[in-house]
Structure 1
Amino acid sequence: MSDTFTTRVLHIATGRTETVTDLTHDCEQFLREAAAGRDGLLNVFVPHATAGIAVLETGAGSDDDLLAALRTLLPADDRWQHRHGTPGHGRDHVLPALVPPHATLPVISGRLELGTWQSVCLVDTNISNANRQVRLSFLG
């Protein structure tokens, strides 16, 4: 593997609702330029304390199922010690322990090596922060 490192920041507007945003196309577009046919690793990182990166199926209900599971595991109520922001916002700060803020994925011949139904997604339950950054970094 060579020592080529390239990085880019995406600016994503997630809106005022809990969301799972598919970043796969953005990752593929970045790799077309950054990897240029080489093997390596893509790191996807969200530098926010209340969002995460997940690899999952989208479009068949799994993204909604993930949000429903997170609502069950992390209810938006007053049980959280972290209490600033909207009611239940403390749960958003626990989210990265379950959905980590990063993923490192293999790149083979310049292409993201995902399974048939896998997508790279930003998971954001924080309805108070509608603007997110996602850093894509290629090492190859």
Structure 2
Amino acid sequence: MQTDVVEVDTSRRRTVDLTEEVRAFCAGHGDGLCNVFVPHATAGVAIIETGAGSDADLVDTLERLLPRDDRYRHAHGSPGHGADHVLPALVAPSVTLPVQGGKPLLGTWQSVVLVDLNRDNSHRKVRFSFIDG
């Protein structure tokens, strides 16, 4: 298995498009599987359309589903931080993509994005791993 870690700053945005990084990582490989994993308890990875409002819609929807208030038992950090710890149950911490000829087989409008609503930690690591097919 080949693997690499990139660092991502989420201080200015709640979703960060990782598609170009995924393509660059896969380019040196043939056929197989690429796993994108966020080793954090308060972030996730999704495959969505970006640039047409879907990324903002995703954040708005998650913020409605996970309001920032005092309802959470996990209560340290900023108000509503417990919601950040529920996020990975809705947006998984990893996705796996099929790769053929060094190219991830994403659909026309699909992008791989890091989803991070956590206001307490804006420094994230994302691990790319490749398994030959």
TM-score range, shorter chain: over 0.9
Aligned alpha-carbon RMSD (Å): 0.8
Structure 1: 4+ residue segments shifted above 6 A: none
Q: Cα deviation per residue 1:57-104 (whole Å; 9 max; x = unaligned)?
A: 000000000000001100011111100000000000000000000001
Counterpart AA for 2:42? T
Shift of 1:18: 5.3
Secondary structure, in 3 states, of the residue corresponding to 2:58? helix
Shift of 1:109: 1.1
What are the ranges of 5 or more consecutive residues in structure 2 without an aligned counterpart? none
Structure 1 distance, partners of 2:32, 2:84, is 32
Other-structure match for 2:17 = 22
What is the percent sequence identity of the aligned residues?
Answer: 57
Other-structure match for 2:78 = 86
TM-score (norm 1): 0.92
Counterpart AA for 2:3? T
Other-structure match for 2:7 = 11
Other-structure match for 2:52 = 60
1:39 aligns with 2:39: no
Structure 2 distance, partners of 1:136, 1:10, is 8
* Length, aligned pairs only: 132
Alignment of 1:70-109 (within 5 A): 70-109=62-101
Shift of 1:6: 0.6
Q: Cα deviation per residue 1:13-72 (whole Å; 9 max; x = unaligned)?
A: 111x55110000000011112x1xx11000000000000000000000000000000011
TM-score (norm 2): 0.97
